[in-house]
Structure 1
Amino acid sequence: MKDNDTKRLSRLTAILIQLQTKRLITAPNLAEKFGVSVRTIYRDIRALEQAGVPILTEEGKGYSLMEGYKIPPIMFSESQANALILAEQLVLKNKDASFIKDYTEAVDKIKAVLRQAEKDKANLLAERTRFDQNLNRERNSDNISQIQQALTNFQPIAIDYTNEQGSSTRRIIEPFALLSTNENWLLVAWCRLRETFRYFRLDRIKKLEILSDTFEPHKMTLQEYFDKY
């Protein structure tokens, strides 16, 4: 498949998602979002109609999907599913019970369309993530998505880590859980250098590399870890 064809297929899929999530959307809005001309969007809409998607056109307003039309389940990438799980942990700290209920039910529906392998990883990540409210300090980390991937795929990580005294060491660790405290994001991981579980502040990880091999999953839950350590 040519690169242009791949880009167009990706755009058509994205337009379907936009139609599914918005009641009404205009061609100029879509053109701006995808960085193409309005004429290109017109062609994309015609292509979707020819493929059997019942798109309704409201003159001067925009496009919408016919009421009751069901688009096949959206395939989330692993990192996108992980981001949703992390967002769920944030929402669980909200004090509005109805909001928590609605969001949790929405995430359950999203999980339902994941493939079984991604579903298992999403559930593992939900079990291994804890989030506390932080109203006073910023969290500085660019590595959460990579760490989530390594955690759910049981891949060791090589890190350059700087401790409180400013000393830097190279370590290989086995990620176990992600915690958010009042101060920062913490990674709980088995440190092969120290041969024990350690906490690593994400803002002190200066370099990170996911290794290609895998490690044997640690046979305990996060609560069991807290009870033991």
Structure 2
Amino acid sequence: MHDNDTKRLSRLTAILTQLQTKRLLTATNLAEKFNVSVRTIYRDMKALEQAGVPIITEEGKGYTLMEGYKIPPVMFSEAQANALILAEQLVLKNKETSFIKDYTEAIDKIKAVLRQSDKDKANLLADRTRFEQNLNRQRSSNNISQLQFALTNFFLTRIDYINEQNKTSCRTIEPFAIISTTENWLLIAWCRLRTEFRFFRLDRITNLEILSEKFEQHKMTLQEYFDKYH
């Protein structure tokens, strides 16, 4: 996700929060608050409307939410909530203090309306995610969303993995954390084949299957893991 994408996601989230807490918002005020053009705010409002948010435009006055509308607990799927948590980690790498503050406050309000079970999963994922910014990153992965789900729901996962010697092996793993170095996305997981924690580069996972069997949660934080094993 590029810096512009995270900024837009942050702005959309903050606008939605503003709409819920204020009676009326004008495009001019929003443009000044987020340091963007009025035209950009128009596009943001259209994006929110297309996402199903009932925004009412009062001619000559501004924007307001339909009376009684609140973000319901079911508005975000688990995968969408997880995506927001990952985006939060990206935003925290931004150097602009006010931008971080606005986004963090917006995320806190979103977490507040999640169902308790989803809230617990979101907090767990936030603890188990580390990100180092690298805008020139070339390697990519299509497995992050699935691994987030397996991690927060404690599902065993089977992967086909290519090691540095270009040999493929099948592993059954217990996903523990997702981190990013300056070059790769990495999964930390308990490998049942090796009976120890291992790092797996996500771009080396050629096949992934989430199994129905669950594993017992590893009762430690990511920092405690690093303190113990590194």
Instruction: Calculate the TM-score normalised by the size of structure 1.
Output: 0.73
> Residue 54 and residue 218 in structure 1: after superposition, are their counterparts in 2 closer, same or farther (change >3 A)?
closer
Deviation at 1:65, TM superposition (A): 3.6
Deviation at 1:219, TM superposition (A): 1.3
Paired residues of 2:55 and 2:63 also in contact (CA < 8 A): no
Pairing 1:31-70 to 2, within 5 Å after superposition = 55=56, 58=59, 65=65, 69-70=67-68
Counterpart in the other structure of 1:130: 130
Deviation at 1:139, TM superposition (A): 3.3
Counterpart in the other structure of 2:142: 142
What is the one-letter code of the residue matched to 1:90?
L
Deviation at 1:55, TM superposition (A): 4.9
Q: 1:71 aligns with which of 69, 72, 76?
A: 69
Paired residues of 1:85 and 1:126 also in contact (CA < 8 A): yes
Deviation at 1:125, TM superposition (A): 0.2
Cα RMSD for the two superposed structures: 3.0
* Distance in 2 between residues matched to 1:100 and 1:55, nearest whole Å: 29
> Residue 54 and residue 198 in structure 1: after superposition, are their counterparts in 2 closer, same or farther (change >3 A)?
closer
Pairing 1:1-229 to 2, within 5 Å after superposition = 55=56, 58=59, 65=65, 69-74=67-72, 75=74, 76-229=76-229
* Distance in 2 between residues matched to 1:33 and 1:127, nearest whole Å: 32
Deviation at 1:58, TM superposition (A): 4.5
Deviation at 1:127, TM superposition (A): 0.3
Paired residues of 1:176 and 1:188 also in contact (CA < 8 A): yes
Question: What are structure 2's unaligned runs of at least 5 residues?
Answer: 1-15, 28-41
* Distance in 1 between residues matched to 2:227 and 2:87, nearest whole Å: 26
Question: What are structure 1's unaligned runs of at least 5 residues?
Answer: 1-16, 35-43, 45-52
Identity %: 67
* Distance in 2 between residues matched to 1:200 and 1:213, nearest whole Å: 21
Name segments (4+ residues, structure 1) moved above 3 Å.
20-26, 53-59, 62-66
> Residue 54 and residue 114 in structure 1: after superposition, are their counterparts in 2 closer, same or farther (change >3 A)?
closer
Paired residues of 2:157 and 2:210 also in contact (CA < 8 A): yes
* Distance in 1 between residues matched to 2:145 and 2:57, nearest whole Å: 38
Larger Rg: 1
SS of corresponding position for 2:165: coil
* Distance in 1 between residues matched to 2:122 and 2:129, nearest whole Å: 11
